[in-house]
Amino acid sequence: MKKTLHILFFLFFIFGSLQVWAKTVTVCNSCSVKTIQEGINQASEGDTVLVKKGVYREFNIIIDKSIILLGENLPTIDGEDKGEIVKIVSDNVTVDGFKIINVGTSYTSDYAAVRVIKRNGFLIQNLELEKLFFGIYLEKSNDGKVLNNNIRGDAVKEYNSGNGIQLWYCKDVEVRGNNVQNVRDGIYLEFSDNIKISHNISRNNLRYGLHFMFSNHNIYDYNTFENNGAGVAVMFSKFVEMNHNIFKENWGTAAFGLLLKEINDAKITENVFKENTVGINIEGSNRIDYKNNDFISNGWAIKVRGACYTNNFENNNFLYNSFDISYNSNLNDNKFDRNFWSNYTGYDLDKNGIGDVPYRPVKLFSYIVNRTPETIILLRSLFIDIIDFSEKVSPVFTPDNLVDENPKMKTINHDRS
Amino acid sequence: MLKILKYSFYDLMRSRWSYVYFLFYLLLGVVLLFLNNDLSKAVITLMNVIIILVPLIGTIFGVMYYYNSREFTELLLAQPVKRSSIFLGQYFGVATSLSMSLVIGLGMPFVFYGIFNSSAIWDFSLLLVTGAFLTFIFTALAFVIALRNENRIKGFGYAILLWLFMAVIYDGIFLMSLLYFEDYPLDKFSLVATMLNPVDLSRVLILLKLDISALLGYTGAVFQKFFGTNFGLILSSVLLIFWVVIPTFFIWRIAKRKDF
């Protein structure tokens, strides 16, 4: 009995001390603590700094202990264009529910609204960022989460604007549910592995909706990339998975839904590419599986630039693209099988749902357009149809082994819910 | 002129040919829609038909009508009627009845299919308007050819040659010259060359709606301005009107001076 009491006492004591230990510091315009930095200074490890609604004109707020910085009713931190606003230099920091505006622009250092430097276990969520240079900048930081932030930039020129969410040398970070608009690159990754990027919306960005380089073993799913200057670019990465994304309306002379450069062993499944100038532009990418994607009304569904080997295109829908596939050489080592092509004109006598005549997705005209781009103006002309037909009968300029032996007769129904 | 237009129009409305033409389009629309079950694809197929077939029918029909109604024309010439109104009246009669067959014949199946509830309505209306324009242009050209040639065989020959040239050969020469001069900046040349052929012009006009994403893939400031803004649409439409007005003017001039 006495022993139990002792234990109870002991537990009570511990909880009690924890309660005391995790105190809350309240910051508001009429409180005794008037600035966020002061609140952070007064707090100790594990505390919560609660910031009430109001405008706080501060910059260079340094969070150097593991606290929760919590905004109530979206308080505004106005950096007044003076520089960086929130800098996290401690492990296990949470920043939640702020509106951060007016990040300074500099050509020598990348000022960010929120920056994490070499720390782990951060959680950055529910932020509204406006008038920014860089948005959320993660630097050599691991095991963190960036959730449900709303980043709205006003970038006009590439050289004096920054990225929405930038990851540099990070590992095991989750980026989910963010909405990034009008910045240079919506989400940018460099040398970052095991990152999961999902349910984000990235649109109207100057350059790329999503841009990553030298980042392996990453997963991108359920994102929407819309109307970005040059779409999405993924370069020099291995073992990337891109599933259930939507790439649409990336229009322009150098715009792609998805640009793959030196990507190996990736999986690209269940994506929708709609109304892009080029759906996927592939360069030097090997062993990639393209399955169950929809390519709808693109200028070029897939443009293969060369040095692409052992890629697998299966079960995709190619609907009303001006060009289905374009090759710039007549060598082919990629496999096309069981896709649906809306331009297919064959028949199915044995009624097994697969066309009896193989389909040749590369047209002579796409080869001509590659050589002389101005000829694009002759698209869909009768003369072009005639030469395409003759090339189809006996291929000379296009790869003669590039055929889909089993073209589907009906649109493949992908469950997109 | 209006009286003669009315007469030609009713004459054609009674004739078998405009019914055949009308039924052909009706059938085409029905087959396209109900066997295909896909509006976007139907519009693309339709574009090919309109660009190739409409000029052909316009040309042949125009020449045929002129030669067939020649005796009646001579009778009219003996009356105190202005020459220009006789020929222009006939021309407008033929062209109007042809475009009506086209618009109604193709329009009806699409209306029943529910085009009004679809986003393709603008693409489709553009197709029909372009088709009507092409009818007017090629009927006018056919009249010019027929007025110039007393010999029917020669007239038909020239008319078919004209169609073949505009629909196929022109693009062949165009493509060859683009490939031959590929080292030079060609975007202005290619735009001008497009403007000079009504078939190409209408094709580009429709492409602006259907394949804009592909057209924007080319890096050239002139193309960018043309395809990227409304400039292309407006310029093409204005030029199509020119293509109607100029041959019509020729009909009027030749008719005024011709000896019968």
Sort out which chain B residues have CB atoms less than 8 A from A386's CB and list them. 168
Decide yes or no: CATH 3.30.540.10 for domain A23-229: no
Side-chain half-sphere exposure of A296, counting CA atoms within 13 A: 14
What residues are paired with A181 via a beta bridge? A152, A203
- Token pair for B202: 């209408």
DSSP type of residue A94: E
Residue numbers of the domain that contains B177: 2-257
Could A299 and B172 be called an inter-chain contact, meaning their C-beta atoms sit closer than 8 Å?
Answer: no
Instruction: For residue B50, name the pLDDT band (cuts at 50, 70, 90).
Output: confident
Judged against a pLDDT cut of 70, whether residue A417 lies above it is answered with no
Distance CA A98, CA B79 (A): 89
pLDDT at B54: 92
- pLDDT tens string B156-209: 999 999 999 999 999 999 999 999 998 888 888 888 898 899 999 998 888 887
Instruction: For residue A15, name the pLDDT band (cuts at 50, 70, 90).
Output: low
pLDDT at B218: 67
Number of structural domains in chain B: 1
Residues 6+ apart with CB under 8 A from B106: B25, B26, B28, B29, B46, B127, B128, B131
Angle A364-371/B170-180 helices, nearest 10 degrees?
Answer: 40
Contact B163, B59 (CB under 8 A): yes
pLDDT at B215: 72
Could A377 and B213 be called an inter-chain contact, meaning their C-beta atoms sit closer than 8 Å?
Answer: no
Sort out which chain B residues have CB atoms less than 8 A from A252's CB and list them. 216
- pLDDT tens string A181-200: 999 999 999 999 999 999 99
pLDDT at B69: 86
The residue type of B17 is W
Average pLDDT over chain A, rounded to an integer:
87
Contact A377, B204 (CB under 8 A): yes
Distance CA A209, CA A201 (A): 9
Judged against a pLDDT cut of 90, whether residue A165 lies above it is answered with yes
Left if phi > 0, otherwise alpha if psi is -120 to 50, otherwise beta: which for A293?
A: beta
**What are B's interface residues with A at a Cβ cutoff of 8 A?**
40-41, 44, 47-48, 51-52, 167-169, 171-172, 174-175, 178-179, 182, 186-187, 189-191, 194, 200, 203-204, 207, 210-220, 223-224
Strands A187-190 and A210-213: parallel
Residues of chain A with CATH 2.160.20.10: 23-229
Distance CA A172, CA A193 (A): 7
- Token pair for B5: 């237009």
Decide if A5 touches B, using CB distance below 8 A: no
- pLDDT tens string A216-263: 999 999 999 998 888 889 899 999 999 999 998 888 777 889 999 999
Q: The whole model's pTM is what? A: 0.85
Instruction: For residue A391, name the pLDDT band (cuts at 50, 70, 90).
Output: confident
Judged against a pLDDT cut of 70, whether residue A275 lies above it is answered with yes
Distance CA A312, CA A287 (A): 7
pLDDT at B79: 84
- pLDDT tens string A286-310: 999 999 999 998 888 999 888 888 8
pLDDT at B114: 75
Distance CA A104, CA A92 (A): 26
Give the CA angle between residues A113, A116, A122 to the nearest 5°: 110
Instruction: Give backbone dihedrals phi and psi of A217, rounded to 5 degrees, phi first.
Output: 55, 40
Distance CA A71, CA A94 (A): 11
How many Å lie between the alpha carbon of B178 and the closest alpha carbon of chain A?
A: 7
Give the CA angle between residues A158, A171, A151 to the nearest 5°: 40
- Which residue is it, tokens 């193309």? B223
pLDDT at A179: 94
Percent of chain A residues past pLDDT 70, beyond the cut: 95
B175, B183, B199, B213, best to mutate vs chain A, most A CBs in 10 Å = B213
